[in-house]
């Protein structure tokens, strides 16, 4: 997809494509107001937990972002993939898109939900991310 640079409308720039290394499959889910939505999904089974990593796809997602989908997305993944809620660690990934804007840098957050379905975020350290992707 080509889009127009807002600072120079005559210069075209490539859109932010998310690299395939961030996900194993594209997961279709119902976003807010049942809006068809997509995210990258990687499931990593480990001895103690199953790590469910959802990745924001930016322009390739026609609907709700993974952050706004929150607990609903986590529940849909568990239901469709046959996972037990108590056995997963839910992680949101903002992939590196080679943007000059720092909020498009690669980051991983462990997300927990309280009794009111409100999300709590904890940024994973570089060591935690490396351990996550190392084989058991």
Q: How far is CA 63 from CA 4, 32, 36, 96, 126, in A?
A: 21, 8, 6, 20, 30
Tens of pLDDT along the chain (136 residues) come to 444 445 444 334 455 788 888 999 999 999 999 999 999 999 999 988 999 999 999 889 999 999 999 999 999 999 999 999 999 999 999 998 776 666 667 899 999 998 888 899 999 999 999 988 886 6
Task: Name the pairing type of β-strands 107-113 and 119-123.
Answer: antiparallel
Tell me the DSSP string of 16-28: -PPPGGG-SEEEE
- Predicted TM-score (pTM) of the model is 0.83
Own/partner long-range contacts of 126-134 (Cβ < 8 Å, ≥24 apart): 132/44, 132/51, 132/91, 132/108, 133/44
Would you state the torsion angle of the CA atoms of residues 73, 90, 112, 71, taken in this order, to the nearest 10 degrees? 10
């Amino acid at each position: 997809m080509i889009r127009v640079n807002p600072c120079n409308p005559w210069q075209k720039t490539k859109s932010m494509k998310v690299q395939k290394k961030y996900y194993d499959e594209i997961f279709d889910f119902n976003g807010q107001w049942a809006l068809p939505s997509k995210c990258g999904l990687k499931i990593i089974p480990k001895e103690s937990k199953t790590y469910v990593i959802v990745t924001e796809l930016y322009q390739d997602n026609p609907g709700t972002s993974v952050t706004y989908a929150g607990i609903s997305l986590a529940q849909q993944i568990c239901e469709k993939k046959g996972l037990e809620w108590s056995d997963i660690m839910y992680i949101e990934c903002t992939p590196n898109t080679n943007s000059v804007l720092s909020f498009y840098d690669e980051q991983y957050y462990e997300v927990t939900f309280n009794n009111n379905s409100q999300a709590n975020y904890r940024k994973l350290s570089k060591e935690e991310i490396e351990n996550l992707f190392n084989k058991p």
